[in-house]
């Protein structure tokens, strides 16, 4: 079986730049004194693609109850969304945070150009590699504050580096809180070994789909971060798993029949929470037939649905892993980020693929540029 010690040793040796980001006292390339000049903004527009933006989007969704500022995320070519942002915001009072590791990401450049007349020294920050690229050159020409993206940390692994933690500062959260318990997880080889044992039981010849089955709305954007991490890291050499996001209990009424009675080619990651929300059902108006629902807590109903689903998975002998969210805080989300990075690297070893490259993606970028020239 793959050793937890060896995985951690390999990351610390061959991916040291990534490994350093796991620790609370890790250093960033942005300068706090200069960043403070931008903290006055109440609306922040983040422009990026994939790993450059999905992590901060996941943080904002999960911790929105602690964040008083407005964040707008642009991560697709959507003209309607761009026009809506322009219409609904005073763009002279918006902070623009533009993130692209390469500095040449087509969609990021296009979306940034839409706001070109508003991108000024006083309200714009660019994060990219410090080399000859479109964003770095633009920042230099316009005297825009530039933050160096580490060249050895890929976008999908950048959540604990500047790309993920600078937005955290503007959310008035503290980066070290996300990493508070990660050093203990790294030291807890028994815990990591148990995780590896569970992962190793996945039949890679049979399993084709990882279903992220989610009962926690606050985790919806975290699911998209997971999806990219798993797909882009593992889908190589005709190997890999298709990560499918499924929102519950909604998908009880659309996909459950397939999941439970269709091909046995899936493993389920079931997410639920111990939420303290107190909203209750008032079903009296619908008569006695459904009086069993009256005064029931919404979250308890979802818990019953989740438990029923897991019982059915057990009956059908379908593999699954359960993740229960006990606290909606920075430390909880930080642990989730770390554990999925760790598990992805473990899965890459099982599949014998490189978790850190993306050759097919690069091929499409080359072909797109050729067609546009």
Write the DSSP assignment of 180-217 as a string of letters: TTHHHHHH-HHHHHHHHHHHHTS-TTT--EEEEEE--G
Residue 276 has pLDDT above 90, yes or no: no
Contact 309, 320 (CB under 8 A): no
3-state secondary structure of 123: coil
Residues 6+ apart with CB under 8 A from 92: 118, 123
Residue 244 has pLDDT above 80, yes or no: yes
Q: Which pLDDT band holds residue 69 (cuts at 50, 70, 90)?
A: very high
3-state secondary structure of 4: helix
Pairing of the two strands 266-273 and 209-214: parallel
Cis amide prior to 249 (ω within 30 degrees): yes
> Taken in order 50, 31, 340, 261, is the CA torsion positive or negative?
negative
The arrangement of strands across the sheet holding 124-128 comes to 70-74, 43-47, 94-99, 124-128, 145-148
Q: What does the pLDDT read at residue 297? A: 84
| Strand extents, DSSP E, the chain | 43-47, 70-74, 94-99, 124-128, 145-148, 209-214, 242-247, 266-273, 320-325
The per-residue pLDDT of the chain, averaged, comes to 94
Contact 222, 61 (CB under 8 A): yes
Give me the percent of the chain exceeding a pLDDT of 90: 82
- The owner of tokens 């990660």 is 182
Both structure tokens of 205? 């010849």
Contact 24, 179 (CB under 8 A): yes
Other C-beta atoms closer than 10 Å to the C-beta of 163 total: 28
The CA-based dihedral angle spanning residues 330, 163, 242, 1, taken in that order and rounded to the nearest 10 degrees: -70
3-state secondary structure of 99: strand
- Averaged pLDDT for residues 72-95: 97
Q: Which pLDDT band holds residue 359 (cuts at 50, 70, 90)?
A: confident
Contact 75, 57 (CB under 8 A): yes
Q: Which pLDDT band holds residue 285 (cuts at 50, 70, 90)?
A: confident
Of 48-57, 153-162, 274-283, 313-322, the one with minimum mean pLDDT is 274-283
3-state secondary structure of 126: strand
Q: Is 14 exposed, middle or buried (0-12, 13-18, 19+ CB in 10 A)?
A: exposed
Report how far residue 94's alpha carbon sits from residue 64's, in angstroms, rounded to the nearest whole number.
Answer: 19
Residue 187 has pLDDT above 90, yes or no: yes
- Averaged pLDDT for residues 126-154: 97
Report how far residue 318's alpha carbon sits from residue 198's, in angstroms, rounded to the nearest whole number.
Answer: 14
pLDDT top residue among 1 and 30 = 30
Q: What does the pLDDT read at residue 213? A: 98
Q: Which pLDDT band holds residue 198 (cuts at 50, 70, 90)?
A: confident
- Reported pTM: 0.95
Domains parsed from the chain with CATH numbers: 25-177 (3.40.50.10490), 180-351 (3.40.50.10490)
Report how far residue 129's alpha carbon sits from residue 147's, in angstroms, rounded to the nearest whole number.
Answer: 8
């Amino acid at each position: 079986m793959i050793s937890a010690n060896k995985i951690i040793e390999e990351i610390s040796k061959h991916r040291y730049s990534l490994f350093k980001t796991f620790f609370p006292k890790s250093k960033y390339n942005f300068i706090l004194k200069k960043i403070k000049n931008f903290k006055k903004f109440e609306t922040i527009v983040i422009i990026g693609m994939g790993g450059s933006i999905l992590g901060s989007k996941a943080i904002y969704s999960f911790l929105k109850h602690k964040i008083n500022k407005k964040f707008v995320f642009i991560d697709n070519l959507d003209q309607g969304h761009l026009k809506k942002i322009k219409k609904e915001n005073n763009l002279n009072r918006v902070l623009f945070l533009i993130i692209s590791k390469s500095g040449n990401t087509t969609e990021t450049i296009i979306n940034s150009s839409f706001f070109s007349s508003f991108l000024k020294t006083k309200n714009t920050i660019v994060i990219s590699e410090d080399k000859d690229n479109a964003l770095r050159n633009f920042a230099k020409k316009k005297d825009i504050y530039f933050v160096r993206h580490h060249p050895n940390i890929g976008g999908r692994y950048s959540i604990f580096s500047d790309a993920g933690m600078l937005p955290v500062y503007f959310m008035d959260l503290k980066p070290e809180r996300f990493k508070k318990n990660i050093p203990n997880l790294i030291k807890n080889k028994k815990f990591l070994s148990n995780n590896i044992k569970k992962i190793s039981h996945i039949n890679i010849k049979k399993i084709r789909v990882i279903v992220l089955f989610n009962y926690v709305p606050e985790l919806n954007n975290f699911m998209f971060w997971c999806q990219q991490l798993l797909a882009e890291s593992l889908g190589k050499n005709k190997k890999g798993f298709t990560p499918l996001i499924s929102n519950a209990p909604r998908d009880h009424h659309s996909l459950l029949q397939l999941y439970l009675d269709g091909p046995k080619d899936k493993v389920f990651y079931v997410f639920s929470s111990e939420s303290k929300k107190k909203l209750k059902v008032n079903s009296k108006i619908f008569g006695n037939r459904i009086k069993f629902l009256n005064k029931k807590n919404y979250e308890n109903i979802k818990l019953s649905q989740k438990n029923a689903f897991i019982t059915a998975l057990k009956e059908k002998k379908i593999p699954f892993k359960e993740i229960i969210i006990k606290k909606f805080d920075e430390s909880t989300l930080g642990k989730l980020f770390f554990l999925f990075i760790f598990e992805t690297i473990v899965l890459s070893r099982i599949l014998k693929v490189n978790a850190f490259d993306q050759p097919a993606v690069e091929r499409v970028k080359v072909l797109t540029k050729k067609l546009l020239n």
